[in-house]
Structure 1
Amino acid sequence: MKKGNYNRLWKWHFYAALFIAPLLITLTLSGIGYLFYTDVENKAYDDLFFGQSEKTEQLTIDEGIEKAIEQYKGYSVSKVILLDDPYNTRLTMTNEDGDQKYVFLDDNYEIIGSQTAKQTFSNVMREIHSSLFVGGTVVNYLVELAACWAIFLLFTGLYMTFKGRALKKVLNPTKRQKNKNLHALVGTIITIPMIIVIFTGLPWSAFMGNFIYSVAQDHPSIGNPTLKQQPPTSDMSEIPWATRKNEAPTSDDTHAHHGNMSDMTSMSYGSSISVQQLMTKVEEAHISKPYSIIYSSTEEGVYTVSKGSNTGITGLDVSPYEEMTTYFDQYSGNLISKVSYQDYGILAKWFTWGIPLHEGHLFGWPNKLINLSVCLSFLFVIFWGFKTWLSRKKEGKLSTPPKASSGLSIGFIIFMVILGLIMPLFGISLIVVAIVEGIIYLIKKEKK
């Protein structure tokens, strides 16, 4: 690239950092918080996760569920999460407004207490990290766009480091040169790890995430196997990412009892088998804890029993190799079909590993510590980038990088086009930037 292109990339690098740094800092800090959510929740919610009720009567799990329905009026059970010892059983209960409670049952299936779902540490961190706790399509796109521009910052920073020989030793360096060298050195070291962290988080994004999932669904040979029957009616976070929108089979509707659809005490219908009976069927199918049971929301639906590597639930995550989604007839309890990790295509397998790597629990504490070091280093790079700018900033001026003295080169165009194709939302933002710059150029030309 020519010197003019170096200055142009420097200019874009500068403005991108200036505008998205606050968002990147927020995403990084919330990511660190989410990285340790299981450790925080195990301590903060010790009484709910591991405690015992004062009542010692031994109940069946179905009796415990019925007591929860009676105690929390207006709420119905949609999911039952059965965890390994010493964790207690957890119920997800939802009311007509969509509000959720987590209710915990001890070894005797007696009620210990409950949580408001949106106020748990993991959900707060997740909401900040994915949607800045505001939500909405625009905010989700903004978060994704910040991640895309972070990729741009890393690549352009890497280019300027080597093109500008920022790491070259200088005798008696100035304060600005020291800041610049430190910014460049740490940025170079974390470029590849940070790109991996960002790209493994994109499956949950609004724009690119839906695109990736569509590709995985439309091309089963590389993505997700498709069960060509009635799709599930609920989108549950405990279902693994690779199968959460798969079409699910339906139960044998000859058993269905077409009763009053508004009477949904526990989101099960007619002569559906009990949870205890289902657990026996699950055991017979050689499915071990931890797993979640998702109730059917229709008379024709099925029980969905799943083990996921990226559930977001303390105590529920399993190894990618163990991930599976199974469907049981809600009336007979028969296992209808099963989709496991071995059935995934290469794309689905990649993200089944990538997401827990991003979340920091793929290989235990070393994964957390590596992710933590990458995040802290990224914050360090942002901080030292601003220090570098402030060390050369003249009072009363923005002190932007020098203007590009030449036109766009083929190399520059190819670089931006490739990034735009890999990250479509980034590509759209580039078009917007180009239009704005064109308008500014025309205005200045008209004034001259």
Structure 2
Amino acid sequence: MSTTSPPQEGKRKTFDLYRAVWRWHFYAGLLVLPFMITLAITGGLYLFKDELDALIHADVKRVAVQEATLPPSTLVSAALTAHPGTAVKFTDPATPKSSAEITVNTASGERLAVYVNPYTANVLGALDDRGTVMWTVRYLHSLKYFGPTARKLIEIAGGWATLLVLTGIYLWWPRRKGKGGVISVRGKPKSRVFWRDLHAVLGIFVGGFIVFLAITGMPWSGVWGAQVNQWANGNNFGYPSGVRVEVPMSEARLNAQSPTNWSLEQAQIPESTQGPGQATSIGLDGAVAIFDELGLHHGYAVSLPTTETGVYTGSVYPNDLSQQRVVHLDQYSGERLIDMSYSDYGPLGRWLEFGINVHMGQQFGLANQLLFLTVCVAIILLAVSAAVMWWKRRPSRAMGVPPLPADKRVFRGLIAILAIGGLIFPLVGASLIVMLLLDWLIVRPLQERRLVNQPR
């Protein structure tokens, strides 16, 4: 027969639940915070990609404005004279002060971005294709720099970051009178309470943004992102449902040809059909004239046909989602084979593209950039405060994992909730099982042994 009174029993259960949540908050932080510091630094830089690229690569990207630009074919010829090979893409100058960019597969096997003054056809210089500083930052942020296997960590990090925020809200939730550690920071930097309060207050103010960034970053993940991409766009050659694709289609994919948005990564490229009396191509100048007439946003890229069935593809993904557009032209007739924009995406595709655009700091201009830069700085401070707090609390010669609850049954409900998340995000579920095994087989026995050996 229990001698514990109902109020005491309730307090004990609450305390046990707090310990269980604290324990998993610690594990989530252990897994995610180092990763989040890297994402925050690279993400904060990438928010200002256009500004930083224009500054860092001003010698090849900026030109003096003159009266009239030269035909695109003239600019391509100048690029090929400087770097012999095959031109595969022409990028229209985004502004009057921007250079034109011609992508060349050189005779030596390199793939170069050659920058040409659109007014004089002077070649300003060349870089490796996607070799700017901001492309490197982007590849580091998405882990594409480390190959396809590493990109799967995005899904794991996103799931555990969400768990980190949810458990953090529970730990932050006010249980006593006073505002210390709730909306204000107590103490001074030398004290642990200062770092605890700083961590809690920062976390509650940016937690929602962290979850938003985690969810909108999931489309780039290796498993979940690929499945949702297929679900959002169906099996209609990788295009959103409703887009007319009753034309011959090749096996080539749009993302292999030119950088594209998430929704069109798997979109197949149509083929040109050479009809009677159509022995010659309309040429780059003719294709650009059509794209200009169709009103593509300046800065669009034109992928050039390299085979008899190839097409001219004009694609542009500006900050304004309504201006996103991809148009494929038959290289002989100039006919529009596929013409689609943001409004053609399905509901899920539009929602995800909007979230991605906000994630990248593009949707609401400078305000969007500054807001998420603040969030990135806050994430770094969260990680630093967590590390300092752990260092001040940790016991000697131990990891400092939060203590076990007296009643292990409190883990059941918590694990059930985590399991639901694991079913939605498979890689998160797999990592959860690994952590449960490590906790059960290694960490718990060590803690219990340490308690038994403590002097009484």
The runs of 5 or more residues in structure 2 that have no matched partner are 1-12
Change (3 A) 1:72 1:96: closer
SS in 1 for 2:151: helix
Q: 2:287 aligns with which of 278, 282, 303?
A: 278
Residue 249 (structure 1) aligned with residue 270 (structure 2): yes
Distance 1:4 1:201 in 2: 34
What corresponds to 2:19 in structure 1?
7
Residue 233 (structure 1) aligned with residue 252 (structure 2): yes
Equivalence map 1:294-305=2 (5 Å): 294-305=303-314
What corresponds to 2:149 in structure 1?
138
SS in 1 for 2:271: coil
- Assess if the C-alpha contact under 8 Å between 2:154 and 2:220 holds in 1: no
Residue 320 (structure 1) aligned with residue 321 (structure 2): yes
The farther-off stretch of 135-144 and 153-162 is 135-144
Change (3 A) 1:361 1:398: same
Report Cα offsets for 1:67-118 as digits up to 9, x if no partner.
Answer: 3223213x42221111232212111223589743211121233322111235
1:58 offset after TM fit, Å?
Answer: 8.0
Residue 78 (structure 1) aligned with residue 88 (structure 2): yes
What corresponds to 2:300 in structure 1?
291
Specify the structure having the higher radius of gyration (Cα). 2
Q: 1:44 aligns with which of 52, 56, 65?
A: 56
SS in 2 for 1:194: helix
Letter matched to residue 395 of structure 1? S
TM-score (norm 2): 0.82
* Cα RMSD (Å): 3.3
The runs of 5 or more residues in structure 1 that have no matched partner are 258-269, 309-316
1:37 offset after TM fit, Å?
Answer: 1.8
What corresponds to 1:207 in structure 2?
223
Residue 114 (structure 1) aligned with residue 126 (structure 2): yes
Q: 2:210 aligns with which of 176, 194, 198?
A: 194
Distance 1:254 1:161 in 2: 70
What corresponds to 1:224 in structure 2?
240
SS in 2 for 1:233: strand
The percent identity for this pair of structures is 26
Q: 1:105 aligns with which of 106, 116, 121?
A: 116
What corresponds to 2:8 in structure 1?
none
Change (3 A) 1:172 1:68: closer
- Assess if the C-alpha contact under 8 Å between 1:324 and 1:338 holds in 2: yes
1:57 offset after TM fit, Å?
Answer: 12
Equivalence map 1:16-95=2 (5 Å): 16-51=28-63, 60-73=71-84, 75-82=85-92, 83-95=94-106
1:275 offset after TM fit, Å?
Answer: 0.8
Change (3 A) 1:256 1:350: farther
SS in 1 for 2:403: coil
- Assess if the C-alpha contact under 8 Å between 1:240 and 1:307 holds in 2: no
Residue 347 (structure 1) aligned with residue 348 (structure 2): yes
Residue 160 (structure 1) aligned with residue 161 (structure 2): no
- Assess if the C-alpha contact under 8 Å between 2:252 and 2:268 holds in 1: no
- Assess if the C-alpha contact under 8 Å between 2:273 and 2:309 holds in 1: yes
Letter matched to residue 230 of structure 1? M
- Assess if the C-alpha contact under 8 Å between 2:87 and 2:102 holds in 1: yes
Report Cα offsets for 1:31-82 as digits up to 9, x if no partner.
Answer: 11111221111112222122269xx998532132123223213x42221111
Letter matched to residue 213 of structure 2? V
Equivalence map 1:399-438=2 (5 Å): 399-405=400-406, 406-408=408-410, 411-438=413-440
Change (3 A) 1:164 1:231: farther
Residue 149 (structure 1) aligned with residue 150 (structure 2): no
Distance 1:165 1:77 in 2: 68
- Assess if the C-alpha contact under 8 Å between 2:270 and 2:311 holds in 1: yes
- Assess if the C-alpha contact under 8 Å between 2:111 and 2:128 holds in 1: yes
Distance 2:186 2:284 in 1: 74
Letter matched to residue 159 of structure 2? C
The farther-off stretch of 231-240 and 107-116 is 231-240
Letter matched to residue 104 of structure 2? M
What corresponds to 1:334 in structure 2?
335
- Assess if the C-alpha contact under 8 Å between 2:180 and 2:186 holds in 1: no
1:2 offset after TM fit, Å?
Answer: 4.8
1:408 offset after TM fit, Å?
Answer: 4.4
1:219 offset after TM fit, Å?
Answer: 7.6
Report Cα offsets for 1:290-314 as digits up to 9, x if no partner.
Answer: 3111123442232111121xxxxxx
- Assess if the C-alpha contact under 8 Å between 1:167 and 1:184 holds in 2: no
SS in 1 for 2:173: helix
TM-score (norm 1): 0.84
1:156 offset after TM fit, Å?
Answer: 1.1
Change (3 A) 1:119 1:338: closer
Number of equivalences: 421
1:216 offset after TM fit, Å?
Answer: 0.9
Distance 1:166 1:25 in 2: 33
Distance 1:385 1:151 in 2: 16
Change (3 A) 1:442 1:378: closer
Change (3 A) 1:58 1:396: closer
- Assess if the C-alpha contact under 8 Å between 1:255 and 1:271 holds in 2: no
Distance 1:216 1:51 in 2: 41
What corresponds to 1:397 in structure 2?
398
Letter matched to residue 87 of structure 2? V
Distance 1:431 1:149 in 2: 13
SS in 2 for 1:333: coil
Change (3 A) 1:120 1:286: closer
Letter matched to residue 282 of structure 1? F
Distance 1:352 1:256 in 2: 42
